[in-house]
């Protein structure tokens, strides 16, 4: 038999790519330590522009200035506005030129205009952001002038082995160290970097090809044709870039151009993405895993995949019958299914796999009882992946983990390992795994026999690939804060969503002050009619589908909510089925139609812990009979959401569902009130084994 690991040759550019990309692993570090060791950090000069800053450093940045001039952006560095400049010094250019030309005889004047353009625009952003406000492992909140998002990480280096003393090292794209951070100037901020940030123009398979640790997985991608697919899908050519004027919604309120939200006090700006991107995340078992399992041989791997997923006969358009096992590039081929369950249709940095802004997690009261976790639909049709961050190991992410260490039924899952090199491509990135991800009976019926809580920002890969999701809105109610904007989406250009012409819907930033779970929210406005494809169920059975809602009625803020009709359908062509009477989003949770009461109000006149719990359970049962549940107890913005009577979960439908079928819900405004808003936070899909099982569903 042929050895699978040696089937494909490597490109000669491996050495150059590794030289550019080699960096250290991500580790948490303390920002105040950096400030103590680097007193120049946070230096403020009110008299300089970015251009002045570069010119006033004794020629240290002359090479970079040349690139800015050739790229025709030098003039912008002299003007007012808000810019972020990552400034590489001449020493950084020496390293870069040596990597390009292979010697020390060339200068910056040997670079082409295209190369100068790339360098200049990679290091500039038309928005101002400070490292002190960023979360390690996440992207900077705005793209650079090449429309690429840069990542921000913290590594650490040993400075005194005797004292075990470490210095934090701040990096961009794991390549360039930030030597000076947050140097404020008149028209923005400058960060000095010691390397040229070299964005990859390769697609994800090209970057994976260079990594000798993942040969087996890569060659399987080639054999099934997935390398071609991952190299073709990048940008929607039919997407119409919005005019500048159309990116700001003109909603006049007290002379301010902004959106008026249902809470009656928030005024924000909405933008539309300039492009629609298709990006990917791959979780790749290393070659050691294949060898350990005896599957480095290609035929052995095919047999293994067949044992998990099976292969059926199919008939082509000409009436010819084939078996999918023999047709590697067919969608139903078992090896292809094996690979697709290792991939997501969105690009996730290590930091934004879960919602982990410190301002948000400070309010996550149940972390010791339940991981911070998100569910994602994978590229394998009708499959789900569970990604979590446990309380006891906050620096790492795990896939298909369930429960808490030491508790009955705990499933450890697989740790996601960040490679030491930058693995970002033009259309995605990859991570290492030390085992296979399998969508087998164990995963579907054990790991995913749980309450699957899908945050609104994970329901469409377009929300993540546009960087609409994964932003924290800043501190307080300062509406001028850079991230306090919402992102709108064009009709027909958002996967898993269909909307009417009269519908406006936006993904908001996360905010610790929002009365919604984990601080995330979508806002649906206008005479809205929204259809959402539900994520798949892991096995056939009866499920409850629930939606979070916050009426805000008890606070007297009822004007922004409306009344909606909920529909459900099975598949694309079926008729919509109305679910119950219209749902009034304006009534308070303690209204008799809902019956939500605070636990403390229920138990204040009752003695004995058991009697108190029975009384609380009786209230929960009565609410459930009316189609409602209390909000989760694991999160709160000052008050635990469970204790806010206006925060609720509405049961939209209880239905037998199959694991091979698509299901949709529809939310249609039935009042003639275009100012009404439907705040959309999460959807829960809960199997009957959980909501009506022998063990009561937890309150988190």
What pLDDT digit, counting tens, does each position of 318-373 carry?
888 888 898 898 889 999 999 999 999 999 988 889 988 888 999 998 898 899 99
CB 642 within 8 A of CB 630: yes
**38-193 with 200-235+279-448: one CATH topology?**
yes
Determine contact, residues 33/168, Cβ cutoff 8 Å: yes
3-state secondary structure 588-647: CCCCCCCCCCCHHHHHCCCCCHHHHHHHHHHHHHHHHHCCEEECCCCEECCCEHHHCCCE
Q: Quick one: tokens of 185?
A: 């100037």
Pick the CATH number of 460-597+623-691 from 2.60.40, 2.60.120, 3.20.20, 3.30.1920: 2.60.120
Average pLDDT over residues 43-67: 87
Mean pLDDT score, 417-436: 90
Lowest mean pLDDT across 38-47, 112-121, 412-421, 593-602:
38-47
Neighbouring CB atoms inside 10 A of 391's CB total: 16
Check residues 639 and 398 and name the one with the higher pLDDT.
398
At which residue do the structure tokens 């904007």 appear?
485
Domain ranges across the chain: 38-193, 200-235+279-448, 460-597+623-691
Would you state the pLDDT for residue 149?
Answer: 80
User: What pLDDT shows up at residue 619?
Assistant: 95
The per-residue pLDDT for 5 is 44
Half-sphere exposure of 163 (CA within 13 A, CB side): 5
Determine whether 286 is exposed, middle or buried from the number of CB atoms within 10 Å of its CB (0-12, 13-18, 19+).
buried
- At residue 393, φ and ψ (nearest 5 deg) are -145, 60
CATH superfamily of 200-235+279-448: FAS1 domain (2.30.180.10)
Mean pLDDT of 209-214: 94
Say what the pLDDT of residue 103 is: 87
Q: Which of 27-31, 132-136, 692-696 has the highest mean pLDDT?
A: 692-696
Averaged confidence pLDDT in the chain:
85
Percent of the chain whose predicted confidence (pLDDT) is above 90: 56
User: What is the structure's pLDDT at 282?
Assistant: 97
CA dist 634 → 359, 363, 510 (Å): 15, 8, 17
pLDDT tens digits along 77-87? 988 778 899 99
Question: How does pLDDT run across 360-382, given as a tens digit for each residue?
Answer: 999 998 898 899 999 999 999 99
pLDDT for 578-620, tens place per residue? 999 999 988 889 999 999 999 999 999 999 999 999 999 999 9
- Phi and psi based region of residue 608 (left: phi greater than 0; alpha: psi -120 to 50; beta: remaining): left
The C-alpha atoms of residue 64 and residue 238 are separated, in whole angstroms, by: 36
Among the listed residues 518, 526, 529, 387, the one whose alpha carbon sits nearest the alpha carbon of residue 456: 518
pLDDT at position 243 is: 64
254-302 pLDDT, tens per residue?
344 444 444 434 567 778 888 899 999 999 999 999 999 999 999 999 9
Cβ neighbours of residue 418 under 8 Å, at least 6 residues apart?
25, 26, 350, 431, 432
Question: In the predicted model, is pLDDT for residue 124 greater than 60?
Answer: yes
Q: Which pLDDT score is estimated for 265?
A: 45
Contacts 24+ apart (CB under 8 A), 374-378: 374/454, 374/455, 374/458, 375/452, 375/453, 375/454, 375/458, 375/535, 376/344, 376/346, 376/458, 377/345, 377/535, 377/536, 378/340, 378/341, 378/342, 378/343, 378/344, 378/345, 378/439
pLDDT at residue 491 in the model: 85
Distance CA 298, CA 2 (A): 7
* pLDDT at residue 122 is higher than 70: yes
Q: Which 3 state secondary structure label does DSSP give 180?
A: strand
Segment 232-237 shows an average pLDDT of: 87
**154 or 622, higher pLDDT:** 622
Rounded to an integer, the average pLDDT of 648-659 is 96
How would residue 635 be classed by pLDDT, with cut points 50, 70 and 90?
very high
Q: Phi first, then psi: what are they for 88, rounded to 5°?
A: -85, 135
Q: Of 223, 217, 280, which Cα lies nearest the Cα of 435? A: 217
Please tell me which residue, 471 or 457, carries the higher pLDDT value.
Answer: 457
360 vs 636: CA distance, rounded Å:
9
pLDDT for 33 beyond 50:
no
CA distance linking residue 88 with residue 190, whole number of Å: 10
DSSP secondary structure of 541-594: EEEEEEEEEE--GGGT--TT--EEEEEEEESSSSPPEE-SSPEETTS-TTSTTT
User: HSE (CB half, 13 Å, CA atoms) of 118?
Assistant: 12
Give 351: exposed, middle or buried? Use CB within 10 Å, 0-12, 13-18, 19+.
Answer: buried
Report yes or no: 327 and 333 within 8 Å, Cβ to Cβ.
Answer: yes
Closest CA to 560 of 594, 599, 524: 524
Which pLDDT belongs to residue 278?
A: 95
Neighbours of 90 (CB within 10 A): 14
Choose the weakest-confidence range: 2-11, 227-236, 324-333.
2-11
The pLDDT of residue 475 is above 60: no
According to DSSP, residue 235 is labeled B
Decide: 67 and 107 in contact? Cβ < 8 Å.
no
Token duo for residue 286? 């290393």
pLDDT number for residue 74: 94
- Give yes or no for residue 626 having a pLDDT over 50: yes
pLDDT value for 555: 60
Give the DSSP H or E segment for 433: strand 428-433
Instruction: State what percent of residues in the chain have pLDDT above 70.
Output: 86
Angle of helix 113-122 versus helix 62-70 axis, rounded to 10: 110
Confidence of residue 162 (pLDDT cuts 50, 70, 90): low
How far is residue 623's CA from residue 263's CA, in Å, rounded to a whole number?
Answer: 25
Q: Is the pLDDT of residue 308 over 90?
A: yes
Contact by Cβ (8 Å): 617, 683: no
Closest CA to 88 of 112, 111, 57: 57
Task: Assign 136 a pLDDT band (cuts: 50, 70, 90).
Answer: confident
Rounded CA separation 202/205 (Å): 8
Does 49 score more than 70 pLDDT? yes
pLDDT of residue 482: 52
The domain over range 38-193 is classified in CATH as 2.30.180.10: yes
The Cα–Cα gap between 570 and 664 comes to: 7
pLDDT, position 472: 83
């Amino acid at each position: 038999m042929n050895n699978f690991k040696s089937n494909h040759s490597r490109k000669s550019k491996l050495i150059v790519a590794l030289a550019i990309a080699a960096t250290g692993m991500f580790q948490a570090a303390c920002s105040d330590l950096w400030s103590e060791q680097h007193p120049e950090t946070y230096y403020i000069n009110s008299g300089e522009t970015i251009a002045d800053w570069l010119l006033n450093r004794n020629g240290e940045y002359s090479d970079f200035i040349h690139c800015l001039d050739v790229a025709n952006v030098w003039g912008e560095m002299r003007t007012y506005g808000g810019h972020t400049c990552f400034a590489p010094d001449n020493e950084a250019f020496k390293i870069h030129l040596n990597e390009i030309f292979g010697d020390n005889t060339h200068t910056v004047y040997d670079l082409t205009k295209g190369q100068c353009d790339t360098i200049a625009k990679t290091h500039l952003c038309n928005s101002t952001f400070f490292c002190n406000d960023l979360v390690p492992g996440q992207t900077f909140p705005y793209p650079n002038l090449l429309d690429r998002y840069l990542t921000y990480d913290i590594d650490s280096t040993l400075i005194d082995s005797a004292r075990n003393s470490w210095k934090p090292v701040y990096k961009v794209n794991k390549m360039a160290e930030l030597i000076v951070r947050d140097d404020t100037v008149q028209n923005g901020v400058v960060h000095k970097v010691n390397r040229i940030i070299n964005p990859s123009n390769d697609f994800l398979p090209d970057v994976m090809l260079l990594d000798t640790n993942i040969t087996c997985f890569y060659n399987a991608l080639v054999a099934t044709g997935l390398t071609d697919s991952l190299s073709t899908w990048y940008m929607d050519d039919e997407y119409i870039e919005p005019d500048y004027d159309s990116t700001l919604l003109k909603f006049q309120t007290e002379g301010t151009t902004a959106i008026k939200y249902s809470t009656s006090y928030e005024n924000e700006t909405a933008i539309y993405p300039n492009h629609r991107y298709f990006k990917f995340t791959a979780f790749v078992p290393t070659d050691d895993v294949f060898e350990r399992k005896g599957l480095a041989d290609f035929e052995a791997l095919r047999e293994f995949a067949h044992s998990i997923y099976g292969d059926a006969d199919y008939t082509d358009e000409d009436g010819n019958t084939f078996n999918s096992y023999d047709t590697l590039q067919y969608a139903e081929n078992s090896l292809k299914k094996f690979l697709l369950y290792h991939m997501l249709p969105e690009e996730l940095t290590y930091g934004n796999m879960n919602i982990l802004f410190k301002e948000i997690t400070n309010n996550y009261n149940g972390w010791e009882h339940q991981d911070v976790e998100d569910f994602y639909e994978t590229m394998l049709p009708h499959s789900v992946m569970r990604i979590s961050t446990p309380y006891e190991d906050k620096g790492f992410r795990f896939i298909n983990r369930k429960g808490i260490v030491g508790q009955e039924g705990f499933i450890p899952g697989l740790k996601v390992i960040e490679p030491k090199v930058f693995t970002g491509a033009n259309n995605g990135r990859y991570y290492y795994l030390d085992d296979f991800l399998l969508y087998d009976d164990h995963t579907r019926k054990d790991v995913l026999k749980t309450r699957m809580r899908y945050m609104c920002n994970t329901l469409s890969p377009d929300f993540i690939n546009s960087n609409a999701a994964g932003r924290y809105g800043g501190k307080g109610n300062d509406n001028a804060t850079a991230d306090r904007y919402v992102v709108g989406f064009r009709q027909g250009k958002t996967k898993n969503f269909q909307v009417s012409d009269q519908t406006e819907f936006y993904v908001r930033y996360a905010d610790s002050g929002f009365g919604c779970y984990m601080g995330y929210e979508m806002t649906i406005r206008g005479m809205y009619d929204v259809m959402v494809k539900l994520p798949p169920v892991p096995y056939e059975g009866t499920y409850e589908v629930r939606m979070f809602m916050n009426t805000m009625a008890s606070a007297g803020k009822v004007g922004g909510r409306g009344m909606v009709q909920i529909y459900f359908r099975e598949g694309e062509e079926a008729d919509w089925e109305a679910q119950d009477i219209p749902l009034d989003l304006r009534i308070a949770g303690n209204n008799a139609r809902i019956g939500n009461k605070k636990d403390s109000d229920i138990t204040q006149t009752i003695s004995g812990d058991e009697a108190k719990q029975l009384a609380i359970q009786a209230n929960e049962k009565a609410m459930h009979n009316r189609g409602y549940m209390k909000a989760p107890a694991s999160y709160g913005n000052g008050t635990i959401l469970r204790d806010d009577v206006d925060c609720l979960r509405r049961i939209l439908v209880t239905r037998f569902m199959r694991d091979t079928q698509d299901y949709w819900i529809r939310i249609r405004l039935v009042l003639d009130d275009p100012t009404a808003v439907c705040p959309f936070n999460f959807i829960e899909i809960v199997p009957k084994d959980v909501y009506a099982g022998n063990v009561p569903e937890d309150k988190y």
